[in-house]
Structure 1
Amino acid sequence: MSILPPSQDSVSESSNDKAVPVHKVQTGGSFTHDEAANGDVMALEKQPRWPKIRTTWQDAFSEFFGTMILILFGDGVVAQVVLSNGTKGEYQSISWGWGIAVMLGVYVSGKSGAHINPAVTLANCVFRGHPWRKFPVYLLAQLAGAMMGAAIVYGNYRSAIDVFEGGAGIRTVSGPSATAGIFCTYPAAFMTRTGMVFSEFIASTILQFVIFALADANNIGAGPLMPLCLLFLIFGIGACFGWETGYAINLARDFGPRLVSYMIGYGHEVWSAGGYYFWIPMVIPFLGCLSGGALYDFFIYTGESPMNKPYLGLNRFLHPKKSVWSNTHNKAVDSNV
């Protein structure tokens, strides 16, 4: 199960079976088997290459563009608020902007399940049977999409950044004219290391707990209203828990734009700021989303989940076999029977 209904998450799985048409072979008359086979090969060669590529990489493209849209609107609203000195928005504008960013990103990436967050992908692999082989594909696509979105935002607001910073080529991470916070998150000055970790952990735990609740058909279930519900979820997290660390809750959302900001001249401080805070939004969202998913499944969910198996599914560690760990092996065996 993903953020969106399973039927949408399985589009690319089933579409691969449709990529190569099956042709009937005539054996009567002068039309031989070899001629039919040669005809099939020629027909396949005449097919446009791009539709086959698009089908094969459907999930990657979907997550790439969904995450790109997420960053375009999310970093875009931060840029507008910061660079206008608060005259074109305020903190709540940022909360609304990120909520809208998630909603639109989910609409764009619906064919892949609309994860747009590596931690959400991991939670779906662990608790909802999402294929493990897709995890690295989703992660890389999400990271690349976030970098592309950040680069576009920078290109759009470059002149405004020059004016705000006090000159072309001046890029700062801290200080009254700093603009690095447009792209990625930095903790408030008063935050301790423990506070930083807990802030990101509680926000990402809430995120996954509520996502599973919204996707649970045996609960009220959001159904087709899922993207709109996610808008209010992200707005709520930002409005209630976002001040201290910027509620990254997403490795791709934070690390991708942070890497872009380093590449365009913000310097080593993008890594060292906040006592090398950068690793926290990379690691903690995974722990938070796993905790949120485990909490929901343990106390509320009644469907297929490791939390609803003997020993909470931990006995898998005693059987390191593909048939035990794979999320697709048993399904493939059943379909061939």
Structure 2
Amino acid sequence: MVEQVTWVDRVRVKATLKHDIGRTALAEFFGTLVLVLIITSVVAQNVLPKAGLGNALIGVNVGVACGIAFGIALCIRISGGHINPAVTLAFLVLGAIRPLKAIAYMFAQVAGAFVGAMLTYFLYNDAINVFDAGTRRVEGLKATAHIFASYPGAHLGWAGGLFDQIIGTAVFVLIIVHTVDRRNAYPMWVRPFIMGVGFLMIGTAFAFNAGYPLNPARDFGPRLFTLVWGWGSKTFSFNDFGWFWIPIVGPLIGGVLGALAYNFIFGFHTPIEDQYEVVATHELKPISEKIVTHTHTEEHTALNP
């Protein structure tokens, strides 16, 4: 009996990206888009309602954790689900990803974050206009820029902010590397949720100083959006240019430190019973195609990350 070939099968043959970097970068773009869309929307629901109607901080933490988990889950089988340049750099240092692919990932992550912030803006545009009367502010009671990017608490200096981002990201990447080590036997399907719970833990511990961005793309992409969409240069010049670079540099340093800490404290001492796996260790093999005819069904090889 001949299996019926649907239009979806026919389109798949034409639309499937054959280039490894293109396919994985697209996955990183969309995974980061979803991450930032969820995070910024959660924050918007906390900032915009009248007093007493917003979510409690735990609601923000849970929403952010869900965004992390689902963003990773969407693209983990294709690209490894980095959705964070700090994670990508950490795995580059570990030798788990090629430099060219790492660069493509980082550009895709920033672009995805920009578009995710833009979608949140259009989703909450009316509410933002009611809240700030159409005047976009970075500071003050009617400020809305912090819906999209991080801004430090009044108590926080640049050194404390940098340390905050380094430590928070180091803990998160340590959790990630622990989770993807096959010797720890986490099934593929459960890994995004372990990472999401890990980020929930970090949020409950480290949110006070600056809202724990811990992701250069998640912070820079939305900040760039607010720069070009009405908030102006203050988004970067805030605190005499003493903040915008911290959620970029701090996580990049912290991610590498977290990955190395896992290996030196745990990984190097764990009995080798299976292949050590870090995200995107293996290159994806090209997808093969067979011409679909009326008497033959279409066949595809599975992705083999």
TM-score range, shorter chain: 0.7 to 0.9
Partner of 2:84: 117
Partner of 1:258: 223
Q: Secondary structure at the match of 1:190?
A: coil
**1:303–1:66 Cα change, 3 Å:** farther
Partner of 1:294: 260
What TM-score, normalized by structure 2, do the two folds share? 0.80
Moved over 6 A (4+): none
**1:51–1:241 Cα change, 3 Å:** same
Shift in Å, 1:97: 0.8
Contact 2:214 2:251 in 1 (8 A): yes
Q: Secondary structure at the match of 1:187?
A: coil
**Aligned pair partner of 1:107 in 63, 73, 80:** 73
Contact 1:99 1:231 in 2 (8 A): yes
Deviations 1:63-116 (A, max 9, x none): 010000001110010001100145131211111111000011011111100000
Bigger CA radius of gyration: 1
Deviations 1:256-308 (A, max 9, x none): 0000011111011111223420000111111001111111111211399xxxx
Deviations 1:153-189 (A, max 9, x none): 0011011001000x23x10000001010000000000
Structure number having the greater helix percentage: 1
Contact 2:169 2:255 in 1 (8 A): yes
Distance 1:227 1:146 in 2: 19
**1:294–1:87 Cα change, 3 Å:** same
Q: % of aligned pairs identical?
A: 34
Partner of 1:164: 131
Contact 1:76 1:153 in 2 (8 A): yes
Distance 1:119 1:91 in 2: 25
Partner of 1:242: 207
Contact 1:69 1:101 in 2 (8 A): yes
Return the letter of the residue paired with 2:61. S
Partner of 1:214: 179
Distance 1:247 1:222 in 2: 28
Distance 2:109 2:218 in 1: 8
Structure 1 runs not aligned, ≥5 long: 1-46, 305-326, 329-337
Distance 1:52 1:192 in 2: 46
Partner of 1:142: 109
Q: Is the counterpart of residue 78 in structure 1 residue 43 in structure 2?
A: yes
Q: Give aligned pairs, total.
A: 259
Partner of 1:92: 58
Partner of 1:65: 30
Distance 1:99 1:191 in 2: 24
Structure 2 runs not aligned, ≥5 long: 1-11, 271-280, 283-305
Distance 1:265 1:174 in 2: 14
What TM-score, normalized by structure 1, do the two folds share? 0.73
Partner of 2:197: 232
Shift in Å, 1:243: 1.3
Deviations 1:165-216 (A, max 9, x none): 0x23x10000001010000000000111111111111101101111111112
Distance 1:172 1:259 in 2: 15
